[in-house]
Amino acid sequence: MRLPVKKTYKLYIGGSFPRSESGRSYEVEGANAALASKKDLRDAVRAAREAFPKWAAMTAYNRGQVLYRMAEIMEGRRSQFAELVGGEAEVEEAIDSWVWYAGWADKLGQVLGSSNPVAGPYFNFSIPEPTGVVGVVAPEEPPLAGLVARLAPAIVGGNAVVLIASERRPLAAVTLAEVLATSDVPGGVVNVLTGRKSDLCPVLAAHMDVNAVDLSGADGDRAELERLAADNVKRVVRNGEGQSPWHVAAFLELKTVWHPIGV
Amino acid sequence: MTELERKQDRSPVPSAFEYAPAPESRDVVRLEDRYGLFIGGEFVEPRSGEFQPSISPATEEPLAEVAYAGPEDVALAVGAARDAFENGWSEIAPSERAKYLFRIARLLQERSREFAVLESLDGGKPIRESRDVDLPLSAAHFFYYAGWADKLEYAFPSRKPRPVGVAGQIIPWNFPLLMLSWKIAPALAAGNTVVLKPAETTPLTALLFCDVLRQAELPPGVVNIVTGDGRAGAEIVKHPDVDKVAFTGSTDVGKEIQRAVAGTEKKLTLELGGKAANIIFDDAALDQAVEGIINGIYFNQGHVCCAGSRLLVQESIYEQTIAKLKRRMTTLRVGDPLDKNTDVGAINSKQQLDKIRELVAAGEEEGAEIYQPPCRLPEKGWWFPPTVFTNVAQSYRIAQEEIFGPVLSVLTFRTPDEAVEKANNTPYGLSAGVWTEKGSRILWMAQHLRAGVIWANTYNRFDPASPFGGYKESGFGREGGLHGLEPYLRFE
């Protein structure tokens, strides 16, 4: 009988897989997952902030292709994911989520933007732009499809993300990070942390260099997290269900530009 | 006219031009001695029993007494709004709802002069601005949103838009009637009812607006005007039967409000402060750019959240720009808001004047160089001359903090990258200005400036069709345009 080689489940920050700087882990789902510390989270925010300009400057078409590549690579790893989450249906849902959001990348401008008919000789247009660094607290269940449903809309518009995975079932998130690493998603655009939500969520909510937070998966004192978020006027999403371009819009800023028309 | 006004020297300050007085008559305004709260379609006595005078900042004269709402009063107003929402307003056919808003728009146009004079009296802004900017835009906002009331399914296809219910709205003192229009028009168009609190120093045009509501025959309780101070505002924010809160004001108070609604299901939009950079490149049409700078910071005494309070000028044209700017500043007329020649009116309150003085003193202390054109300021009232600081470093308080007065800080840059870096380097992100003749550079700058409103080769342009709002600590949510309806709707 052959002894299998067990995987070490680490964090995914800045395109690399470091262990927690605390050196700690916790036993979950039959393995040891990294126990991210507050410093890991701060490092992740820094990585996201560094990665944001390049991801935001990519053309929408390019970003769409990257998300589609996520679907391609995940499709190739179907059985690995199915084993982790206990079924194929959830994996298919997650893959199809990537495909659906990939198609939105180069359409947001037309659905959310406008040319505005102002009462004067001015050209005036509004366009959506990514807000910057978004903190996402993934739902506990379903650990893969629920995570993708919150992650894809956060990044398709050009944001960089710091994501806190399901605490009780984090392994799918770490495996997803391997897909991120091999799908042309630039390092730092998505950072995946595993650990105790009660440790990490307040630090994320209070971080002054995070522009928005998705608290859909946050249990515990939601009100306190929202209060912490107010320190730098973060955009707060409370609960997002289903698939919608409005989930994308929640993390976009609308910019309006005026220019006189004349000879 | 009061004795005080007769005695006051109403001739314009010494400047490059001399103008004869051109006062707008205040006879068109009829003020009550005392106003109650407008709840359920009528003026009622405040349960709080508290009244305070509203003061004219140009003369320090009390204009009228207004009620200061207490918790019971706010509860009554919210109750009236809820009643109106449940019993009729949300059932009225959207096209009929639209007609009320169209009526309000037309009434504002008909009574425009009356409102403009009152706005200048109560708030201190020049009559030319209230007459030519505030009033036309206020009417336009109602007219614009009236048209949306029965077209919401086209604005939000397949989202099944529904009103949120009762909106609690708190507005500032810098554009009192205009901010009221920005709040009430979309809220009503979307089918909501409203409890609105005007700023404590500028309640009078909101109270006169109640008379427009009477003439428009708006059903009672749809709009409730609750005057008062921060305490009344806090009551509105925390009232459990308010579904949505909209606030325009300072960033500090905005954060408090965001904390106050944390953990509730209330929707929130915030329109907060700014420290906008007005950026001039060496190929700009310089005379136009200087006009744009002047307009950007001295319009409305600089009491503008999106004011161009920082001038970023390219090094190679620094000397000529400053020379032109200072020369233009000497032609600005500071004085009686009701004089049609006045460019810069009174500072809205003693409190605001103290704040401006404090920051200006800080600027001098930190080492910036101050210039103020010679100005004869009236004895009574609250005034501050147009001011410009040169030799300003990025870290000075006058480069980072919002002064909200007629004070400009000048910094320089060499490259577009540097201009963008400096412009974006504040906690704010409301607006920015760019002056250059090169098209690709206009678009590049617009792309890189992290601000919700970018004015290119123009400044301080507003329109109901144009979404307005900030990035970062300048707030979230947009007012104006189709986008301005979204905060007032629920979707499936």
Please check whether residue A116 is in contact with residue A124, taking contact to mean a CB–CB distance below 8 angstroms: yes
**Catalytic residue flag (residue B305):** yes
CB contacts, 8 Å: A259 with chain B: 442, 456-458
Minimal C-alpha gap between A250 and chain B (Å) = 10
Is the entire prediction scored with pTM above 0.90?
yes
* B241 & B294 share domain: no
Judge whether B12 lies within some domain.
no
Residues of B in contact with A120 (CB under 8 A): 461, 463
| Selected residue of A58, A259, A261, A263 to mutate for chain B interface (largest B Cβ count, 10 A) | A259
Do residue B250 and residue B314 come from a single domain? no
Residue B46 lies in a domain: yes
CATH placement of domain A36-260: 3.40.605.10
At A184-203, the pLDDT tens digits run: 999 999 999 999 999 999 99
C-alpha to C-alpha distance for B277 and B431, rounded to whole angstroms: 8
pLDDT tens column, B349-392: 999 999 999 999 999 999 999 999 988 898 999 999 999 999 99
State how far residue B490 is from chain A, nearest Cα, in angstroms: 12
Co-location of B30 and B176 in the same domain: yes
Amino acid B13: pLDDT: 47
Q: Which of A127, A258, A263 to mutate to test the interface with B (most CBs of B within 10 A)?
A: A258
Predicted pLDDT at B9 = 42
Cis peptide before A142 (omega within 30 of 0): yes
> Are the C-beta atoms of residues B130 and B208 closer than 8 Å to each other?
no
**Contact at CB, B159 and A246, closer than 8 angstroms:** yes
- Check if B271 is active-site: yes
Position B16 in a domain: no
Per residue in B236-295, pLDDT (tens digit) is: 999 999 999 999 999 999 999 999 999 999 999 999 999 999 999 999 999 999 999 999
Asked, for residue B158, whether it belongs to a domain, the answer is yes
Same domain, B121 and B244: yes
What are residue A127's DSSP bridge partners? A255
Residue identified by tokens 């009320």 is: B100
Let me know if A159 is exposed, middle or buried by CB neighbors in 10 A (0-12, 13-18, 19+).
buried
When divided into structural domains, chain B yields a total of: 2
Percent of chain B residues past pLDDT 90, beyond the cut: 94
Q: What is the CATH number of the domain that holds B403?
A: 3.40.309.10
> Do B293 and B356 have their domain in common?
yes
Buried b (16+ CB within 10 A) or exposed e, B189-227: bbbbbbbbbbbbbbbbbbbbbbebbeebebbbbbbbbbb
Q: By the CB < 8 Å criterion, does B456 face chain A?
A: yes
Residues 6+ apart with CB under 8 A from B351: none
Contacts of B468 in chain A (CB under 8 A): 256
pLDDT digits (tens, 9 = 90+) for B101-147: 999 999 999 999 999 999 999 999 999 999 999 999 999 999 999 99
Rounded mean pLDDT, A82-90: 96
ipTM beyond 0.90? yes
Q: How far is B241 from chain A (nearest CA, A)?
A: 18
Chain-wide mean pLDDT for chain B?
A: 95
* CB-closest option in B140, B451, B472 to A119: B140
Between B255, B466, B471, which is nearest A124 by CB? B466
Domain residue extents for chain A = 36-260
Query: Is B458's CB within 8 Å of A122's CB?
Result: yes
The percent of residues in chain A predicted with pLDDT above 70, rounded, is: 100
Residue-wise pLDDT for A151-184, tens only, equals: 999 999 999 999 999 999 999 999 999 999 999 9
In this structure, what CATH number is given to the domain that contains residue B51?
3.40.605.10
B contact residues 368-397, partner A, Cβ 8 Å cutoff: none
- Return the residue of A nearest to B466 by Cα: A116
Same domain, B250 and B159: yes
Q: Which residues contact A252 (CB under 8 A, 6 or more apart)?
A: A108, A112, A128, A129, A130, A131, A157
Q: Write out pLDDT tens, residues A205-220.
A: 999 999 999 999 998 8
Average pLDDT estimate for A138-154: 97
Domain that holds residue B321: 277-469
